[in-house]
Amino acid sequence: MKKLSIPTSASLDCINEYEREKEEEYDSFRVDSDSPSHHVPRPSSALRALREAVGSVSNMEDFERIEKIGSGFFADVYKVRRKLTNQIMVLKVNKGLTATKTRQEVELLKRLNHPNILHYIGSCIHNEQLHPLTEFVNGGTLKSLIQDVEKNPFPREQRIQLSLDMALGMEYLHENGMLHRDFNSNNCLLRKEGDRYTAVVADFGLAAKNPNLMKDLRCNQSVVGTPFWMAPEVLHGKRYDKKADTYSYGIVLCEIVSRKDADPDEIPRNDNFSLNEAAFRELPEVIGSPCPPAFIDLACNCSKFVPDERPGFPIIVRQLIQLHLISVPPSPVKRISWQDRALKNETIIKLMKDTSTTTK
């Protein structure tokens, strides 16, 4: 299979060029010497904006790091325990983003409120940098579930349900005017309750408003996202919109169908970076997949080369709900026959007679 030359790292150059502004120091107070009450500390505009943006602020020393659970180009992720309350959380330690960009991420997280979106708790400030605190999701990543072939049979109903969960989260994000821009199976977490999993969309470090508003940027010189899931228009440096998220979602669906890695050597691509639909459908893992044909069609449609040919998330949600209703029929209502009802009445009458005899 032909190996494609896909960029191996993401760049924020064009974003930083758009949003770069004079960095404001995180000093807490300033003194106005011309004021009669100059001895009273007055909060700076930067501090007021920061407090409004992040809500709850903590010190890094307030937490004990339990284990490192993830690492990426822009951040390391830790499972932590708040010393005072023993509450388990997740701390994302940013390492490659500007202060402006991390603050934008926190502002976005604080505004989002949906069961399929990672819940924001607060932020830590360390070395004049914001580090988000979020809920701890106990079921690992979708990618780990997909690739754990030996332990997880991954039944059809579960595949459809998790796909619907992710689509609902992405639909909510788009309805609020945001693009994720780094949607992939590593950024979909699983909340486990008993034997049931719920998918939660996470990692909004690259999320932004419609990037087409950045008219003066030379965005064709850089790419944003994780390469194997990037839409062709992003990889080619062209203008893009929310349909780029749809493409990334489509590759995740291809992972769910085939249980293969998103690497082009595993899930075949065309020379233009779009999904090679014919070759994908011929994979033994796809031919033998328990997913219904309509689900495989949806995965391929979301991964089309032309953005306008990809469905939006409202359509994706409707299609998945229909598939879910077909794949997971409602539990049948237990009907009581006249024989069972008669037997139940006889039992009640017998119990009443026994009680009457005992009383006498």
Structure tokens that stand for 129 in this block = 């940098």
Does 95 show up as a binding residue in the annotation?
A: no
Q: For 253-278, what is the mean pLDDT? A: 96
Cβ proximity of 202 and 188 under 8 Å:
yes
Residue 245 lies in a domain: yes
Structure tokens that stand for 257 in this block = 């169908």
C-alpha–C-alpha distance, residues 110 and 132, integer Å:
10
C-alpha–C-alpha distance, residues 261 and 148, integer Å:
12
φ, ψ of residue 84 in degrees (nearest 5): -75, -35
CB neighbours of 163 closer than 8 A, spacing ≥ 6? 199, 253, 256, 295, 320
Whether 209 and 275 map to the same domain: the answer is: yes
CB neighbours of 282 closer than 8 A, spacing ≥ 6? none
Q: Which residues pair with 131 in a beta bridge?
A: 124
**Helix/strand number for the chain, H first, E second:** 12, 10
Q: Find the domain containing 243 and state its range.
A: 142-327
DSSP-H helix ranges across the chain: 13-19, 45-54, 99-111, 142-147, 156-175, 232-235, 243-258, 277-281, 284-287, 293-302, 313-327, 338-359
DSSP, collapsed to helix, strand or coil, labels residue 84 as: coil
Burial (Cβ within 10 Å: 0-12, 13-18, ≥19) of residue 178? buried
Residue 68 lies in a domain: yes
Pair type for strands 57-59 and 120-126: parallel
CATH label of the domain that carries residue 81: 3.30.200.20
At 232, the amino acid letter reads P
Which pLDDT score is estimated for 358? 46
Structure tokens that stand for 305 in this block = 């080369």
pLDDT at 192 over 50: yes
Whether 291 and 272 map to the same domain: the answer is: yes
Burial (Cβ within 10 Å: 0-12, 13-18, ≥19) of residue 193? exposed
Min mean pLDDT across 47-61, 156-170, 195-209, 216-230 is at 216-230
Cβ proximity of 179 and 210 under 8 Å:
yes
Cβ proximity of 257 and 295 under 8 Å:
yes
Which pLDDT score is estimated for 210? 60
End residue of a domain, out of 136, 162, 188? 136
Task: Give Dmax over CA atoms of the chain in angstroms.
Answer: 99
Residue 207 lies in a domain: yes
Q: How far apart are the first and last CA of the chain?
A: 89
Residue 28 lies in a domain: no
DSSP string covering 271-337, please?
TTSSB-HHHHHTSHHHHT-SS-HHHHHHHHHHT-SSGGGSPPHHHHHHHHHHHHHHHSPPPPPPPPP
Pair type for strands 63-71 and 42-43: unpaired
Whether 160 and 222 map to the same domain: the answer is: yes
Which pLDDT score is estimated for 189? 96
* Threshold 0.95, pTM exceeds: no
Domain count, the chain: 2
CATH label of the domain that carries residue 171: 1.10.510.10
**328 vs 275, higher pLDDT:** 275
Min mean pLDDT across 9-13, 115-119, 320-324, 347-351 is at 9-13
Whether 313 and 282 map to the same domain: the answer is: yes
Would residue 244 be called left, alpha or beta, if left means φ above 0 and alpha means ψ between -120 and 50 degrees? alpha
Note the pLDDT tens digit of each residue in 232-256: 999 999 999 999 999 999 999 999 9
The Cβ of residue 277 has, within 10 Å, a number of other Cβ atoms equal to: 19
DSSP, collapsed to helix, strand or coil, labels residue 147 as: helix
Note the pLDDT tens digit of each residue in 135-171: 999 999 999 999 999 888 999 999 999 999 999 999 9
Which pLDDT score is estimated for 206? 83
Whether 103 and 238 map to the same domain: the answer is: no
Looking at the annotation, which residues are catalytic?
A: 182
DSSP, collapsed to helix, strand or coil, labels residue 131 as: strand
Whether 169 and 292 map to the same domain: the answer is: yes
Whether 163 and 131 map to the same domain: the answer is: no
Residue 278 lies in a domain: yes
Q: Which residues pair with 198 in a beta bridge?
A: 191
DSSP letter at 229? G
Segment (H or E) for 78 = strand 75-82
Whether 255 and 108 map to the same domain: the answer is: no
Cβ proximity of 286 and 257 under 8 Å:
yes
Q: Tell which residue, 128, 276, 109, has the closest CA to residue 200.
A: 109
